Chains A and B, each alone.
Chain A
């Protein structure tokens, strides 16, 4: 059969919603699917170059191939899929997609995309979707607090599997609350509402987009109780992706001001305290600068202090705690006075934009006076004097170990081995004892003992012990007393072991000879070395059967 590649190929671009419907109108921040279909390409077709796509946020989602064979000619249809998001309003052209197919370059059609503001689609999305994004205010000053709420309303039997966190690159993120789970009644249907609340602060001015996010849910199939195999292989649930709306926040710039502004919001307290007012020179004093208010307190920089030259400061711990008016932040400093006398720590200033009055305010702490006494005990290394009495430290050693002696010790692996060795030994002995109790090994040991005894009989020529040898062997193997075993028992057991009638007859004859040797002390009809040879043959036969 001949296979060849069909040369005619066709490329086209297609845009659809996440759900798969054809895209009529795109929304700002809401992702959609862009597919490049290549018909009649090869299996190794490289990803296309799509003109205009670089201006938007996109992610390659994968590729699918379908192979067709028509009259010996093979063609491959490939689809490259991208998830695209446009973060601004307007009309955009995407395409053409350029694909290199079999040495040549094919161009696709172009797509003209009309993207409208998120707010236009918002109401529609809220009605349709059960994943809703909302903000407390959509027109704010830069740095002003916004509460972003993510709500997912699902039926009680539906499971929320995964939620992508919101993309908040243009915002500073504060505390996150949630998930807060509540129950709501909607059209006589009870639904679970999962809610997350993000406190965010715009970092820059302009139109800032909070893109749509996706949630993965597990919906139980209604007919699943009938389908045993389906439920067994996890087919009792259906997975669905929910897409939320996107939000555009308009961040206004702050009114012009001549000073640097470090905070937007409201401040109710700004103070500085020290743990002592009277201290020795070079002694450390702990100063705490505290601020309390509503706004981006967490990211407020309090690490710089206005201090006189006589005081050195070292920033120490930083604590942020929720308070009645929002949050409070405490920054600790270790201060060290390097000169004695009265030192004043000047008032510290903080300029911020008050949102309630929409004006700038400067808030100050109270100045602090410190009384620095002459140093009693030097603490800095530079000022330390060598103790006057030079004998305070012990003198040098004139002799001693001036080389690092090699340390003699057992390696750790040896130590472990030595520790484990007796336990291993005891374990082996126990295992061996356990093995001895097993039936098979018991039989083997009994047979070995019998062979040894046979050799002894041969050496000592005490042929009367021959019968007893077999009695002992059978008694051990069948766990019986020697006294209860007789000739009939021995023959019946040999029968059970699968010996033939002829063999049984010979066995009976052999036993008779043994018994004659043992009990009658009379001469037997066959020579004794032949009897011994037969005994050895029977033991060999029994070794195979037992």
Chain B
């Protein structure tokens, strides 16, 4: 109760605690096993970073709200570095085991690829790809004695660089969501008048393709379809 009062008073009198102070307080509350209060504080942080998302996931986990925990951890994963990645993926695996979710092998491979791609920041990756492109052009123009296979090699290297950049862009800016409400039955179109096609298990991470009048077109492990937006939380 005190914590709700604290947050309300802060809002009422526009007392500006810095986000860092709120973060520290929330973490202390979590360590003192007061998860409810910690969650209120974490949710009050504006423009949260990956540490806030990660800790929120832990709080949800303790509160047995596993789908929300998964959503928060997936959010944290978006900008995670490789060491952070390992911590988050472990937690995700724990929640998925409890929910009985098994993401397909292709998805696991994709996650592994993204883990290694996160070695570079997006700007670093952009500069690397640009340098690669300019060096390739320089070599192609000024080294006349090159043979055909050299051209092919240069093109392949550049395509790999671009694909790497594309995957990274997609990871950072692609829209994904976690199923938080059950039963999540997909339909072939955006509305209840369309046929049902498949059911997506709760807690599964899905790709969101488009949105139409409160319905989202998703790609889940067992197919493609439309689902009511209230069943999903963006990550």
Contacts and interface: CB of A to CB of B under 8 A. Distances in A.
Contacts of B50: 400-401
Contact of A396 (B19, B30, B64, B67): B30
Interface in A393-417: 393-405, 407-410, 415
Interface of A: 314-318, 334, 377-379, 381, 384, 386-387, 392-405, 407-410, 415, 418-419, 422, 426
Contact of B49 (A398, A401, A409): A401
A342 to B, nearest CB: 25
A334 B98 CA distance: 20
B130 A384 contact: no
A403 B48 CA distance: 5
Given A384-B64, A403-B48, 8 more contacts: A379-B99, A394-B87, A396-B31, A396-B55, A401-B49, A402-B19, A404-B48, A404-B79
B54 A384 contact: no
Nearest to A380: B182
A418 B130 contact: yes
B86 to A, nearest CB: 9
Contacts of B48: 402-404
Nearest to B54: A397
B172 A407 contact: yes
Contacts of A408: 121-123
Contacts of A410: 123, 126
A381 B202 contact: yes
B27, B45, B195 interface centre (most CB from chain A within 10 Å): B27
Interface stretch (B133-141, B146-154, B208-216): B133-141
Contacts of B49: 400-405
A419 B61 contact: no
A393 B94 contact: yes
Contacts of B156: none
Chain B's interface size range is 35 or more
A377 B100 contact: yes
B124 to A, nearest CB: 10
A315, A393, A404, A407 interface centre (most CB from chain B within 10 Å): A393
A-B residue pairs, 5 tightest by C-beta:
A400-B51, A401-B49, A402-B23, A396-B55, A409-B122
A379 B201 CA distance: 11
A2 B170 CA distance: 75
A419 B126 CA distance: 11
B20 interface: yes
A379 B66 CA distance: 12
B62 to A, nearest CB: 7
B90 interface: yes
15 contacts: A314-B183, A316-B199, A334-B199, A379-B99, A381-B64, A386-B61, A387-B94, A393-B90, A396-B58, A398-B27, A399-B51, A400-B51, A402-B23, A403-B49, A409-B123
B31, B62, B100 interface centre (most CB from chain A within 10 Å): B100
Interface in B106-147: 121-123, 126, 130, 133-134, 137, 141
